[in-house]
Amino acid sequence: MLDLVTMSPKKVAEVAPDTKFRFRDAFPSPGVDVIMGARGSGKTSMAMWVMEELHRTRGLGGAVFKAPNAMRKLLPDWVETPTKLSRLPHDSVIIIDEAQGVANARRSSSNENLDLAQCVALSRQRNQLILLISHHSKKLDMLDVMDANRIIWRQPTAGQVMFERKEIQPFSQRALKKFSERKGNAHKVAYVMDFQSLTFGFTEAKLPSFWTDGLSVGMAGLGQGFGGGGGTLLG
């Protein structure tokens, strides 16, 4: 058995075997997942599918943090749209899209960044699955990345991987390679890194039943008002 914890990140990315992740292993709840990938790769749709599945199978609520007005109208009634981190609901799956607006690496000491760090730390006690969505980890505060249970890639681009954080780059390179080797529709899968056991592998990714073209561009309204007095997400 490989003793992965004694290896460098680069070596782990090279030698760790792949496995196939079931839904419950890919998206354990409570917990924190970082979802990364290219624009249009399906990060938000997968997160909403996860939210719907855990609502259906476990009765968890849902929330999209600072959802723009255009998106709010298209979400199911059971999905909340809080505008403050202090109001994130317990017993819920919480989507924080374009997460660099909250957990920005250049503003690691900002109040909102510190509030998110506390939310991440308390996610288990509050029975929350927090899904942080960004194009790549370099935009995010490293403390939030390090506290994640899973890093999940929708198909990344070579350019994104080239400029990744050095701590995460070997794993993003592995994800890029695995997607390039895989046959079939890349939009139907996601590549998972289990931060706890250092295991890797693909899992299925689907669309939620309420998905529409409007939701696919819904986050374009960030910074244009939230109908709830929340200010802008993009700093």
CATH number at residue 202: 3.40.50.300
Q: Give a yes or no: residue 72 inside a domain.
A: yes
**How much is the pLDDT for 48?**
96
Both structure tokens of 145: 């990345």
**How much is the pLDDT for 215?**
86
The count of domains in the chain is 1
pLDDT for 229 beyond 90: no
Q: Give a yes or no: residue 6 inside a domain.
A: no
**How much is the pLDDT for 53?**
98
Q: What is the pLDDT of residues 56-115, one digit of tens each?
A: 999 999 999 988 888 899 999 999 999 988 899 999 999 998 754 454 434 444 555 567
Q: Give a yes or no: residue 215 inside a domain.
A: no
**How much is the pLDDT for 225?**
39
pLDDT for 226 beyond 60: no
Q: Give a yes or no: residue 2 inside a domain.
A: no
Q: Give a yes or no: residue 218 inside a domain.
A: no
Look up the domain containing 42 and give its range.
20-207
Q: Give a yes or no: residue 134 inside a domain.
A: yes
| Strand pairing category for 61-64 and 150-153 | unpaired
Amino acid at the residue 67: A
pLDDT for 149 beyond 60: yes
Q: Give a yes or no: residue 13 inside a domain.
A: no
Report, as an integer, the average pLDDT of 206-233.
62
Residues 6+ apart with CB under 8 A from 228: 81, 82, 83
pLDDT category at 167 given cuts 50, 70, 90 is: confident
**Phi, psi angles (nearest 5°) of residue 130:** -100, 125
Task: Report in angstroms the alpha-carbon separations of 22 from 26, 34, 35, 219.
Answer: 6, 17, 17, 29
